[in-house]
Structure 1
Amino acid sequence: MYANDKMLSGLDRARVVRLIDEHRKDWSLQQAFYLDPDIFALERELWFPRQWVIVAHLSEVPEKGSYVIRQLFDEEIIVARHGDGEDDVAAYYNVCTHRGSRLCVKDGRGKLLVCPYHAWSFRLTGELQTRRDLPEGVDGDSLGLHKVPTKVIGGLVMCGLDAASLPDIEPAAAGLTDLLRENGVADARIVARKNYLTKANWKLVLENFLECYHCRPAHPEYFRVNGHVKVTAMRDDYNAAEWKQEIDAWHSVIGDAEFHKGVWEPGDLDTMPFAMHRKPIGSGRLTLSDDGRPVSCLMGGRGKFDGGENGFRIGRLSFLSAPNDYLTMFQMIPRNANETDVILTWLVDKDAEASVDVDKISWMWDVTTVQDKKITEDNADGIASRAYRPGPYTPLESQTAFFIETYLSQMRTLITGERRDGDEAWTAPSQLYASPQAARKTRKFGQAAS
């Protein structure tokens, strides 16, 4: 047991509620929330089934008959394309309905999914094809594959564990689809993917990702490239004024062009589970590369480089960075209480040259994520100490603090079935651009933004 003993022995839901009620607002969590496998089991039961996450890009199932094996939290699923349309994509648990064998062991293509154990076969629409050996009286229609809720949004394949628990994704899909298309997401192809397995609780991974307070000491390359660090990594009136001037200058150039909706402003909180913001990269850079020069062709039908980046928050655990010429997709997949898969995928326009320099494309987020892995694992090691106590979040960590408060209120409601005054439960707003106004409107979750 841990010395500052807030760890659970056995799954005691009442004690979890007490820990939530003891939480000090705008401070980090008590030790148990970062380390205890019983709390992770409770998240697995209650919180994870409510999350939509990116599981694949549409180019991974490019034609009818193609399928891939992907991870959805601790479940393995099959993502299959059963028709020629963009919406003709379905996902299933990778479990044969005969006796429970793993159905597919690798990505593939074919008219049927065939179990290697007893050769039961299934159509890509999920129905059982093999029926000749069924016992008399057994309904073959009842033995189709177990479906996973699936929605394709602008080229991104989104899935969730439990249809009954998931929030309605249609408002987010309606708001995001055109924005993703404007950035060429649906017409992209993958050039690289890497898993940065991080030995830390998923909440620590996400807490780190949501703030840039650590960018100055921990990310020298990122700090050099990105102008927004003048207001997100430090509190300095001179740098803030300089950044404001840079934004104003950028606005004067881009005007009201088609691809410049939802432009970032100082003070942007970007707290919504589904959101888009746009900002200049800064210092005259055209893209997020080491030297600021383009690394691939323009995406989304743009006529020229404008030096901006679109940032998408797509649910709680999926993100997308979109400068003008490439995309970086982020998937954060909790593996257990102490490990998280952090998967980055880089994409370019489908018509980009085959010889694009992948090292230049992946440079910034690769070096940054390697550094994030180290500092997050160090954070996890420190939290495991008997000396750990929760500490205060600074104003530069407001997004992290907001996530923690939202997580705790949601967990309490899911455990008790009761909502306290002030508790927050997310409803997708009609306006998906991240802005101070939108953030204020959605701060009281449970009320749709107007």
Structure 2
Amino acid sequence: MLNSFSSPISSLLDQRAAGHSLPAGLYTREDVFKADLDVFFHHHWIYVGLECEVPEPGDVMAIDIGATSIILLRDDDQQIRVVRNVCRHRGARLLEAGPSIVSKLVCPYHQWTYELSGELAHAPHMGQDFDKSCRSLKPVQFRSIGGMIYVCLSDEAPADIDRLAEVMEPRLQPYDLRNTRIAHQVDVIEEGNWKLAMENNRECYHCSANHPELCVSFIDLDFGFDPDSLTAEDRAIAEEHFAMYAERTRQWEEEGFPSQTVEQTRDCATNFRTQRLIIAGAGESQTEDATAASSKLLGSMTRKDLGDVHLWGHNAWNHFMGDHAVTVMVIPLSADRTLVRTKWLVHKDAVEGVDYDLHKLTHVWIETTNQDSDLVRISHKGVSDPAYEPGPYSPFSEKALDDFATWYVDRMRAHGY
């Protein structure tokens, strides 16, 4: 095997064996980290936030992605816009990362002032012949899919996001995410590579041993198993479960709630998977007892028995339930540090302490994220060890990881690596 510390990135990609995890250097090397940012966070569509985070004109949200910073905002005409967070004078940042409320975007350095449309309104001491019309803030390509904001920082955005929109718009419509609000947000810095964070979320092989809170509402059979390892009794239980799943999915579909598994995870640019999952136990929500956390349901929902619409992307995972939603965004900070930002959404009129209890709403995913953070930490330590060599994925529980690693290598090669 080539030395991963000296070989070009292309050699590391060549070393990846089907059905196995990635070579160490693809997780640990600084040049790979920089390439990942360029390929996957600048030339692919990434999830960055929600329309409901900027509900009124003048509401803005600055988001940092590597050296890049963007501003998500709502303008005076109630339209969503996304612009570069770079003054067109000498490049100063207009806003620090996070939410703000402004009437105009004013550069703190020399007070160049921009309308919420991005147009330059005022540039002091630039002379009468200065043409403001060519100095507007640079726009960013974005798509709002059911109220979720996806951006592409490249001028040439992958066209296959249309498939994501086609699939998810009808699935998200009953939840009316545009009329939700953020009840809580938690940022966790995981001590590991962003791909390890995504791989960890792509499988539940580890769930029963590590996520007691989540397993109250998750059904372990849904995440793969070796049928030869089951007793005849357990095999009969599994067959009964999947027959029930097929029937429940058929009923949901007939009632107008799209539920079938849709995957676009190989031979594509925009990577996603969605499915309506049955919730275990009480069957209502991802809480400590699997009952709804909020009595005020989302959007037009009138039922609590419609499961969990889950949606993966290459930098996000999301869960949409009748009473609330959980969205998670992943942004690499360095080769060994990753921002995992979790948001809990409730109906915009839901009142804490009246309609929902914040602890019940957030406890399962706070615990799960902390547990996952530790797993990512020990995984990164392991792939950094000289003894590490890529190991085989379970064909039953880790197929999604093989898909992700295959997609990753293919997309790196498509961009010249």
| TM-score w.r.t. length of structure 2 | 0.89
Cα separation, 2, equivalents of 1:73 and 1:186:
28
For 1:104-125, what per-residue CA distance to the aligned partner results, in whole angstroms no more than 9, with x for missing partners? 2363333311111111101111
* Alignment partner of 2:33 out of 37, 40, 51: 40
* Alignment partner of 1:341 out of 339, 342, 351: 339
The equivalent residue for 1:262 is 259
The equivalent residue for 1:413 is 414
Residue type at the aligned position of 2:70: I
Cα separation, 1, equivalents of 2:253 and 2:400:
29
Which aligned pairs between 1:196-215 and structure 2 lie closer than 5 A?
A: 196-215=188-207
The equivalent residue for 2:221 is 230
Residue type at the aligned position of 1:406: W
Residue 29 (structure 1) shift: 0.9
* Alignment partner of 1:115 out of 107, 110, 115: 107
* Alignment partner of 2:323 out of 322, 325, 345: 325
Cα separation, 1, equivalents of 2:37 and 2:377:
22
For 1:355-403, what per-residue CA distance to the aligned partner results, in whole angstroms no more than 9, with x for missing partners? 2211111122111111100011001011111111111111110001101
The equivalent residue for 2:311 is 312
Residue 246 (structure 1) shift: 4.1
Cα separation, 2, equivalents of 1:97 and 1:252:
54
Identity over aligned pairs, percent: 28
Is the CA contact 1:51–1:316 (under 8 Å) kept in the aligned structure 2? no
Residue type at the aligned position of 2:411: Q
Is the CA contact 1:281–1:287 (under 8 Å) kept in the aligned structure 2? yes
* Alignment partner of 1:75 out of 56, 60, 68: 68
Which aligned pairs between 1:10-409 and structure 2 lie closer than 5 A?
A: 15-85=8-78, 88-105=79-96, 107-135=99-127, 138-167=130-159, 169-227=161-219, 229-232=220-223, 234-235=225-226, 236=230, 237-247=235-245, 250=248, 254=252, 256-259=254-257, 261-263=258-260, 271=265, 273-296=271-294, 297-313=296-312, 315-355=313-353, 356-395=356-395, 396-409=397-410
Q: Give SS of 1:186's match.
A: helix
Cα separation, 1, equivalents of 2:305 and 2:216:
19
Residue type at the aligned position of 2:204: C
Residue 74 (structure 1) shift: 4.0
For 1:314-365, what per-residue CA distance to the aligned partner results, in whole angstroms no more than 9, with x for missing partners? x421222012111000101111111110111000111223322111111221
Is the alpha carbon distance of 1:154 and 1:38 closer, same or farther for their aligned partners in structure 2, counting shifts above 3 Å? Answer: same
Cα separation, 1, equivalents of 2:378 and 2:237:
30
Residue 102 (structure 1) shift: 1.5
Cα separation, 2, equivalents of 1:150 and 1:249:
37
Residue 168 (structure 1) shift: 5.0
Is the alpha carbon distance of 1:250 and 1:47 closer, same or farther for their aligned partners in structure 2, counting shifts above 3 Å? Answer: closer
Is the CA contact 2:16–2:22 (under 8 Å) kept in the aligned structure 1? yes
Cα separation, 1, equivalents of 2:248 and 2:136:
55
Is the alpha carbon distance of 1:115 and 1:255 closer, same or farther for their aligned partners in structure 2, counting shifts above 3 Å? Answer: closer
Q: Give SS of 2:399's match.
A: helix
Q: Give SS of 1:372's match.
A: helix
Residue type at the aligned position of 1:89: I
Is the CA contact 1:59–1:188 (under 8 Å) kept in the aligned structure 2? yes
Cα separation, 1, equivalents of 2:253 and 2:94:
53
For 1:85-112, what per-residue CA distance to the aligned partner results, in whole angstroms no more than 9, with x for missing partners? 4xx1111222211112111236333331
Residue 311 (structure 1) shift: 0.8
Is the CA contact 2:203–2:398 (under 8 Å) kept in the aligned structure 1? yes
Instruction: Please list every run of 5 or more consecutive structure 2 residues that lacks an aligned counterpart in the other structure.
Output: none
Cα separation, 2, equivalents of 1:220 and 1:42:
37
Is the alpha carbon distance of 1:25 and 1:158 closer, same or farther for their aligned partners in structure 2, counting shifts above 3 Å? Answer: same
For 1:401-448, what per-residue CA distance to the aligned partner results, in whole angstroms no more than 9, with x for missing partners? 1010111011112115xxxxxxxxxxxxxxxxxxxxxxxxxxxxxxxx
Residue 280 (structure 1) shift: 1.1
For 1:46-88, what per-residue CA distance to the aligned partner results, in whole angstroms no more than 9, with x for missing partners? 3321222222221211112221222234422211111444xx1
Hey, which bits of structure 1, 4+ residues long, moved more than 6 A?
none
Is the CA contact 2:310–2:318 (under 8 Å) kept in the aligned structure 1? yes
Instruction: Please list every run of 5 or more consecutive structure 1 residues that lacks an aligned counterpart in the other structure.
Output: 417-450
Cα separation, 2, equivalents of 1:238 and 1:365:
32
Cα separation, 1, equivalents of 2:123 and 2:263:
55
Cα separation, 2, equivalents of 1:103 and 1:255:
47
Is the CA contact 2:214–2:286 (under 8 Å) kept in the aligned structure 1? no
